[in-house]
Amino acid sequence: MFWISVIAMLAVLAVLSVGCILVRILCLCYHNAREALKKQPIASYYDAVKAKPSYCPLQDISTDLKMMVIALEDMNFFLHHGCNWEQMFLAFRKNLRHGKILGGGSTITQQLAKNMYLTPESTYTRKLTEWFLARKLEKVLCKEEILDLYLNIIYYGMGQYGIGDASQFYFCVSPADISFNQALTLASLLPAPDFYGPLADANGFSRAKAKALRYLVRNDLIGDADARFFQAAEYADLLDSQTAKDCSTLFEKYYQTISLKGSLHADKRCIRFRGKAITLSEPVYKFLSLAMKILRKLYHRGKGLRLRNRRPTILANNCIGTIIYQDLGLPFLSPTINLTIFHRDFMKFLNHLPEYLESDVYPLEVKGAYYPVGEIRYGEESVRLNFIHYASFEESRSKWNEQKKRVDPENLFILEYIDSVEPEMIEEFSRLPYSHKRFITNKNPAAYDCVEALDLLNDKDYRRGTDQLLQHKPQSIKRYLDNFDYISFLNCEKRKETA
């Protein structure tokens, strides 16, 4: 017993000693970060970079380059708060497996901190200091300013610092005119500019480019055929190629999408408390988001306890039916899941429901559609189906054909939502041969019993549209859709008269 106590005491002392050492290291790294910021504040550093003749503002830099750098260096740049813990953990595990430091899983913000204040040495203490500096950068600068500063100070090889000098040195063009392939070239050599530079080592650069293309394909940013084209084609073949133009157009859309996601993510972390705007830290936001998700699920399942009709077939012109099924935990007994149908097509579909349900789904080519589109046919008429939440036409067709077999003609409920509605639309909807139907809108332009006027326009947070209707209200367990008592509707209860 005595020796067990001694061993336990030694183990506790060892843990405390390790803890003290770790705290000491953290304090030292924090002190180093503070000293670096005292010597050169972030704002003054940024002003000095802007004053350089070669400085190029972010809006004047090619979108191809911005997106390429984000794609290859830090795909979650607009979403994280300075550090990507998952990538850092994977890098740490890889380092342990190989017995040496091979990488650090740094984000663009961390790389910027290293280039601004630290030496290139690879140590864990430098990594911790870098983390403190990255956190400070995220507090002082917005994401666009961080990306702007990053592109204007990083090393591109051959003695070129900043995109202004690098674009002129390598391609004799301004940063605004950098093409897709030129952006691929510059972004490929960033991990080791002097080693991978096209003018330093052609074989090394070819390997780096191939690795970058594999990464783009793996993340569905370009296709296999595109990657093979860029790897094999001579530079002159790429200047006016249609493949390069198509990829450039896609990258512009990707950049707009991820920057918008970043803005929405930042908006979500900002809450109002007693009239003041408060931005939550990432861990607190994640914890509260998880708690809110659980409460929302409990709320909607609690609503479902009132539901007597457990197997309704909800035919909707958009995802309203899908959300109701999901929130109440009901089986999908409708083919109109995860799709949208335009009003005129929806009316045709409902007026000849048995005939259209007998039809197969045929592919429909629609220029500019980023989702699969199909059509079902009855005689010379057809109904367009926009499968907005499906990856391929075959998947959407299979789901439609599977779910249409579950339709119960004796238990049909019709829902249509349109934000801005004309009286003719409601007149047409009211003539549908169904007992249980609701036309959901904001304002009822005429006196129809089948209309559910939610009057959401008086809600200052509501911004119109089906997507917004299905969202949860800010800091609430309810959706905007919950303004509609769909439980009573599905229970076939008579609507309460409103004053």
At residue 216, the 3 state secondary structure works out as helix
Report the pLDDT value the prediction gives residue 236, as an integer from 0 to 100. 46
Could you tell me the pLDDT band of residue 311, with boundaries at 50, 70 and 90? very high
Looking at residue 257, what is its pLDDT?
A: 63
**Residue 179: is its pLDDT beyond 70?**
yes
Q: Which of 56, 67, 62, 69 is nearest to 178 (CA)?
A: 62
Segment of 14-18, 63-67, 245-249 carrying the highest mean pLDDT: 63-67
Residue type, 129: T
Residue type, 171: F
Angle of helix 202-218 relative to helix 63-73, nearest 10 degrees, comes to 80
Exposed, middle or buried, 159 (CB in 10 Å: 0-12/13-18/19+)? exposed
CATH 1.10.3810.10 fits 23-267, yes or no: yes
DSSP 436: S
* Listed residue (257, 256, 229, 258) closest to 244, CA to CA: 229
Lowest mean pLDDT among 24-38, 75-89, 223-237, 423-437: 223-237
pLDDT of res. 237: 47
| CA–CA dist 417, 321 (Å, integer) | 10
Q: Using DSSP, state whether 161 is helix, strand or coil.
A: strand
More confident residue, 118 or 412: 412
Q: How far is CA 324 from the centre of its chain?
A: 24
How many angstroms separate the Cα of 89 from the Cα of each of 49, 83, 99, 134? 33, 11, 15, 17
pLDDT at 102: 64
Long-range interactions of 453-458: CB distance < 8 A, separation 24+? 454/480, 454/483, 454/484, 455/483, 456/480, 456/483
Residue 194: pLDDT over 80: no
Write the CB contacts of 445 (distance below 8 Å, at least 6 apart in sequence).
421, 422, 423, 426
The band of 266, judged by pLDDT with boundaries at 50, 70 and 90, is low
pLDDT > 70 fraction of the chain, expressed in percent and rounded? 78
Average pLDDT over residues 120-140: 82
- Range in 6-15, 272-281, 470-479 the model is least confident about: 272-281
**Please, are residues 146 and 108 in contact by the beta-carbon 8 Å criterion?**
yes
**What pLDDT score does 456 carry?**
56
* H or E element that contains 237: helix 235-238
Structure tokens given for 415:
């829902």
Q: Is the pLDDT of residue 99 over 80?
A: no
C-alpha distances out from residue 177 to 60, 62, 168, Å: 9, 6, 10
Residue 209: other Cβ atoms inside 10 A:
21
Amino acid at residue number 269: R
pLDDT range class, residue 314, cuts 50, 70, 90:
very high
**Residue with structure tokens 């199909």?**
374
Tokens of 479: 């959706």
Q: What is the predicted pLDDT for the residue at 334?
A: 94
Q: Which residues have CB under 8 Å from 492's CB, separation 6+?
A: 309, 436
pLDDT-derived band at 454, boundaries 50, 70, 90: low
Q: Which of 86-100, 367-381, 393-407 has the highest mean pLDDT?
A: 393-407
pTM: 0.53
- Identify the residue with better confidence: 466 or 194: 194
Which of 330-339, 400-409, 436-445 has the lowest average pLDDT? 436-445
The stretch 339-352 carries a mean pLDDT of 92
Model pLDDT for residues 200-221, shown as the tens digit of each residue: 666 767 777 788 888 787 777 7
Spatial separation of the C-alpha atoms in residues 113 and 74, rounded to whole Å: 14
- Most confident region among 136-145, 289-298, 310-319 by mean pLDDT: 310-319
248 pLDDT band, cuts 50/70/90, is low
The encoded tokens of residue 203 equal 């074989």
Could you tell me the CA-to-CA distances from 186 to 129, 147, 406 in Å, in that order?
Answer: 28, 15, 54
Quick one: average pLDDT of 287-314? 88
Per residue in 218-232, is it b (16+ CB within 10 Å) or e — as a string?
eeebbeeebbebbee
CA distance 383 to 367: 17
* pLDDT band for position 497 (cuts 50, 70, 90): very low
Domain residue spans of the chain: 23-267, 293-490
Indicate the average pLDDT of the chain: 79
Which residue in this structure is represented by tokens 């009003």?
Answer: 343
For 171, counting Cβ atoms within 10 Å of its Cβ (0-12 exposed, 13-18 middle, 19+ buried), the class is middle
Q: How many CB atoms lie within 10 A of CB 321?
A: 25
pLDDT band at 457 (very low <50, low <70, confident <90, very high): very low
Neighbouring-strand partners of residue 413:
314
Taking Cα atoms as reference points, which of 119, 120, 117, 121 lies closest to residue 109?
Answer: 117
